[in-house]
Amino acid sequence: MKNKTALQAMILGFGQITGKIISLIFLFRFSNDLGSSEMTYYTYAFIPFSIFADLSAFGFIPGTSKATAQLIADKEDAKANDLLRKGTVFSLVIGGCFFIFLFLFSNQILSVSLFDGYTEDSFNQIKHNLFLASLSLFVIPLSQFYKGFLQGHLKMYPSCLSIVFENLTRLILYILIVGRILDPMDRIHSVFLIHFSAYFVSLVFLFGFVFSYYRQPRKRFHSLSYWFKITIPYGMTTMFFTIYQLVDSITLSFLLPTEGIYTAYMFETVRLIFLPIVLAQSLGGALNPKVNYLMHEQKAKEAASVALHCLTAIIYILIPLVVAMKYFSDEIYHLFYKQENGSAILYHISDLIFFFGLYKVLIGISFGLPKSSYMIFATIVSGIAKYILNVLLIEKIGYLGAIYSTEIAISICIFVAYFVLYKEGISLFVRNLKSLFFSLFSIGISIGLVILFRSVFFLGQFPSYYSVILYSVLLLGIYSLFFLMFRRIKQVSKEKISA
């Protein structure tokens, strides 16, 4: 069972990581072609759009996945097909409603998030960009609903492939069309239209997998109310990053009204740290229906074993990635972007890789358990704490205040998630704490050896990305060897004791 869960996570993770890599290639081309000054016209439209895109698909993937998995576990496939039909209509309607809302209230939304000193012309340009971006809201909710429905059937590969095709479409269209456009504003307009085309390609691809279920028998029931009861709690908890982004976009604009820092913090560095976070996101997505199924089948011990295996694995994976991101923050950031203070922001914000990654796995586990309602309360409290801490800290220590407030706020959710697991008889906190200390000890030795090696074999004559690749592989290789050696020693000790 653990191997099957890991396989599903690997499939989903492969698609998400590949999509992020292609997305970074696209951003590399786009940001270098556009330039930092014009990039703000894109960023200030994209950030509110991305927030409303997340809100429009409020918990759709995990909620639909769990609802579908529960119906299938109860041998109610016909009810799942009814949920598909009604959910499709609702997704289309909610997408249209969010588009209308963003269109009608764009002035108010932008006036809250824009930095001081913008002109009327720049405001109108950003407003027009936001309108073009919001066209994608007609597509995104239904696409997310389809992904959740298929994942509820434990079919991860359609989501994997759709993510890859979406990002490939975006990159190919940019190279073929936008690269020839010289005017910066026209280029930005074209990019937002390309976003819509990429989302639409993903939707059509997913529809090819879902179409057969439309033709299967269905049993009418109150499927939407059933779906809402599951999706809304999921939305409250899985939207924590969107909530934090919304708080940051509001507070940073008036507490730290510096255009360059806002762009680097809210858009550029967040994009970079989400590459490793998607590993945890894919694992959490695979754990959601699996743990729910095991608990439904009264297999609590097996669910505990899967949870321990996956949480320990993600801790051992995330720690070295955080260290590598910090160590190479200057090289990694300037490979894609050009802000002077961006690498320093990336150095500090990379801590969130561990916090967000761990919580995404915990969410996948805890929402398969009966006491998951605690997570809703924790998310609300953490959102309030995030806002209060932002107001208290940003004026004193700048963007670091936003980072520290996020770490404190999400720690509330992490501890509550461990409490939920403990109440269900799955005690993992102490074991995971031991894994965390061992991982930090191992990566500490590994980074020391890499620094020694780097001082002896200086590669300054080569492009920076060569040294990043070489020393990252060396760092992760030493860390893996250290970890495997420890496991072997532990295994031999157990064999001696049993003998």
pLDDT 10s per residue in the chain (499 long)? 444 555 666 677 677 778 878 887 887 788 777 766 677 788 788 888 888 888 888 888 878 888 888 888 788 889 999 999 999 999 999 999 999 998 888 887 787 666 555 677 878 888 888 899 999 999 999 999 999 899 888 788 888 899 999 999 999 999 888 767 778 888 888 999 999 999 999 999 999 999 999 999 888 888 888 888 878 777 776 677 777 777 887 777 666 655 567 777 777 788 788 777 777 766 665 665 566 666 666 666 777 777 777 788 888 888 888 888 888 888 888 777 777 778 888 888 889 988 888 888 887 777 666 666 677 778 888 888 988 998 888 888 888 888 899 999 999 888 888 888 887 777 788 888 888 888 888 888 888 887 777 776 665 555 666 667 777 777 778 887 877 777 666 666 555 555 5
- What sign does the dihedral 351-355-360-365 (CA atoms) show? positive
Whether residue 375 sits in one domain with residue 395: yes
378 and 363 belong to one structural domain: yes
* Domain C-terminal end among 427, 454, 485: 427
Number of domains in the chain: 2
Are 454 and 352 contained in the same domain?
no
54 and 203 share a domain? Answer: yes
Chosen domain end from 380, 402, 427: 427
Distance CA 432, CA 477 (A): 22
Q: Under DSSP, is residue 1 helix (H, G, I), strand (E, B) or coil?
A: coil
- Same domain as 94, residue 176: yes
Same domain, 105 and 183: yes
Q: Are residues 361 and 466 in the same domain?
A: no
- Do 384 and 451 share a domain, yes or no? no
Q: Are residues 439 and 416 in the same domain?
A: no
Domain that holds residue 474: 431-499
User: Do both 322 and 221 map to the same domain?
Assistant: yes
Same-domain pairing of 174 and 260: yes
DSSP assignment of 395-461? HHHTHHHHHHHHHHHHHHHHHHHHHHHHHTT---HHHHHHHHHHHHHHHHHHHHHHHHHHHHS--TT
CA-wise closest residue to 67 among 58, 54, 77, 57: 77
Q: Which of 410, 427, 444 is the last residue of a domain?
A: 427
Whether 423 and 298 share a structural domain: yes
